[in-house]
Amino acid sequence: MMIEGKKILLGVCGSIASYKSATLTRLLVKAGANVKVIMTHEATRFITPLTLSTLSKNPVYSTYYKEDTGEWNSHVELGLWADAFLIAPATANTIAKLAYGLCDNLLTATYLSAKCPVYFAPAMDLDMWKHPSTQRNVRLIEEYGNIQIKPGYGELASGLTGEGRMAEPEEIFSFIEHTFSSDQLLRGKKAIVTAGPTYEAIDPVRFIGNHSSGKMGFAIAEELAGLGAEVTLISGPSHLSTRNKGITRIPVMSSDEMLNAVEKSFPASDITVMSAAVADYKPAIVSAEKIKKDPADFNLELVKTTDILAKAGSSKQAGQILVGFALETNDEEANAIKKLRKKNLDFIVLNSMNDKGAGFGTDTNKVTIIDKSLNVTHFPLKTKEAVAKDICRKIIELI
């Protein structure tokens, strides 16, 4: 089984569904996983730590330190240890804390330190689950890249019948097992992702740039790494950080620096996704000193930058996959197809600035994928993490 040997951190919150955590722990251990359990204080009222410690064959963590010895239970070490962090059951209270970064217990502090994929299985009563605040909180933590294992429909502890019942342990186990199976699909592949803007210097203070945040490229890099690829992320200026240890980040500033980084890595790459918003022009002369604002008029001579995507396309070898992006404002599909053909791409991801919620700086995107056979697939507005999954599914199809 793909789950054998995996290190799984199981978070248990205070819910009547906590009793299911015992069966879930047993299933994971029986499959060969190394399981460590973190319980909230409220969870210990529903199921004893001794039960989960016996089943997991590991100590159970519930406080920041051991009261008898004072020894520290490091949330940072726990977050780094795990291959997956599974929170089941995830209560409305804990989901709200995850959404807003509150860490008043060991479980939520570990969540903020986790470098691995995080899965959560909601468990609560029907009205709590349907409440707009809960639905908003679920959407928020999904936008952060966390993965929901959806609750089922059935009889609830209140006596009501409806949604909110935690997925059964067997369902959760199958979900996690499938995830670990699918993460092997790109193992052994080398990938390049470019992300963010480039800044083209005018003088030591000023530059030509754009509003790209890098969010789309970073999401693609995380998804490729999650699928097992060895990822080189070449990023222009961005405040974003990476989570997966399979990502090597190369920071660059200008289009020339990005070109050099791509040229070094491209010959050995299997997959290259060029999502960076590279400047089309740069100043012909960069002033060594800050330009004074004395003249009433100021003229800046610009020259074209090297088209990195076209250069990669011209040297692409059989077996290499090259993906480009097109951000258009008019004649979107026609312009994207022209770019696809001209630059020898396997497929192009089209954004339209006319679509609300798409483009620079947002947490969402609305894309159309066009491949070299001119198959066109339209997608609805999604989080950039979800868009990254769609792009990677297309890459896997081609491989």
Which one of 58, 210, 260, 344 is the catalytic residue? 210
Q: How far is 226 from 244, CA to CA, in rounded Å?
A: 7
109 and 73 in contact (C-beta within 8 Å)? no
DSSP bridge partners of 86: 10, 119
Q: How far is 325 from 340, CA to CA, in rounded Å?
A: 9
- Residue 37 vs residues 12, 79, 334: alpha-carbon distances, Å: 7, 12, 54
* Token duo for residue 144: 């952060």
* Token duo for residue 351: 């954004």
What letter would DSSP give residue 290?
A: P
Query: Which residues are known binding-site members?
Result: 280, 290, 325, 339, 343
210 flagged as catalytic? yes
Give the number of other CB atoms < 10 A from CB of residue 283. 17
118 and 85 in contact (C-beta within 8 Å)? yes
Query: Which residues are known binding-site members for CTP?
Result: 280, 290, 325, 339, 343
How many DSSP H helices and E strands does the chain contain?
13, 22
Q: Cα-flanking dihedrals φ and ψ of residue 205, to 5°?
A: -110, -40
Supply the residues annotated as catalytic.
210
